[in-house]
Amino acid sequence: MWARLGFTDRVPAATTVWRLLIRLDAEGLSQVLARWLRERAGPVVVAGRRWRWRLVIAVDGKVARGARLSDGRQVHLLSAYGTSTGIVLAQVQIAAKSNEIPAFTPLLRLAAAVLGSLEGVLVVADALHAPTGHADLLAADGAHMMVAVKANQPTLFAQLKALPWGQVPVGAQTRKTGHGRKETRTVKAPTVETPGGLGFPHAEQAVRIVRTRTIKGKTSRETAYLTVSLPAGQAQPADLGTWARSEWHIEDRLHHVRDTTFREDAHQARAGNGPAIFATLRNTAIGVSPHRRRHQHRQGHPTCQPPPPRPHRRHDHRKPTMTRSNPTTQ
């Protein structure tokens, strides 16, 4: 690899490698490595009961708190994460005096370049990405969107809360116990057939998810409202609950690992594209980790082979065993 990179003398020092990396195009490197990871993983299909989706993408941003640009600003990165593969398909840096909303379109364009198309892809995102333009963009590319709705969309939020949820039957309910807590998730998903439907473009279903948690005898309740551009025939309540939780995968399996394992927030990169480049390298390391492959196998990932069995040590009776001598018999 050293020779293929064009080095003919000694192994370059770390500072030389650093000067090379900070001069690279961060988005270009992200695209090259994402394509390599996709080839490594093979074709991906997320199986449902009736429909088969090629990919579910979670979109979320993260601030590299220790890194600074030349003008002193923190580095804010927006990522598109394949929840079934653990691969960051695209990553863009938020421009100065801007936010994640204008970066959504170029991010999805880069993801489409890696995948070849967004046809049939489901994008899940938090309430920040509820502007109507995002839904129009994905619909034009044949993709679908599931987005949380909060006070930043006051009219839609009030409309969702006002729906007669008490008359809607429970579509799916899951109960989990672990880590000292009990959690129940209840999903209701009616198709709104009022004139004009929901006040959000391409929305087919309203979704309400009630999360009830009991920790050390104390019970809390949280209600989340979402919209999805898939009709009921293609998105059952159980699927909607799974997809809503997959939006957290980018936090738990990517951002949290970059913080705790790679100590990204402690990295005080400043020069050139260093912060974005090293975030891309961390994404790549996470994408190829053996833990990720084992996890996907447990979840029934079709392209992953089971991990090799651990060697079992057996006692070899052919070898003499050492026993402590009895002084009374010597």
Instruction: Render each residue's pLDDT in the chain as its tens digit; 330 residues.
Output: 778 878 787 777 888 888 888 889 999 999 999 999 988 876 655 444 444 455 899 999 998 887 777 677 788 899 999 998 899 999 999 887 788 999 999 999 999 999 999 999 999 999 999 888 999 999 999 999 999 999 888 999 999 999 999 999 999 999 988 878 899 999 999 987 655 567 788 999 999 999 999 998 899 999 999 999 998 888 999 999 999 988 888 999 999 999 889 888 888 776 678 888 999 999 999 998 754 554 444 444 444 444 455 554 444 444 444 444 444 444
- Tokens (6 digits) for 201: 């473009």
Distance, CA of 250 to CA of 87 (rounded, Å) = 10
Q: Which long-range contacts (C-beta less than 8 Å, at least 24 apart) are formed by 29-34?
A: 29/277, 29/280, 30/88, 30/90, 30/91, 30/110, 30/280, 30/283, 31/90, 31/110, 31/113, 31/114, 33/280, 33/283, 33/284, 34/87, 34/88, 34/89, 34/90, 34/114
The pTM for the full model equals 0.78
Is the Cβ–Cβ distance between 268 and 68 less than 8 Å?
yes
- Please state the separation of Cα 21 from the chain's center in Å: 25
Is the Cβ–Cβ distance between 148 and 170 less than 8 Å?
no
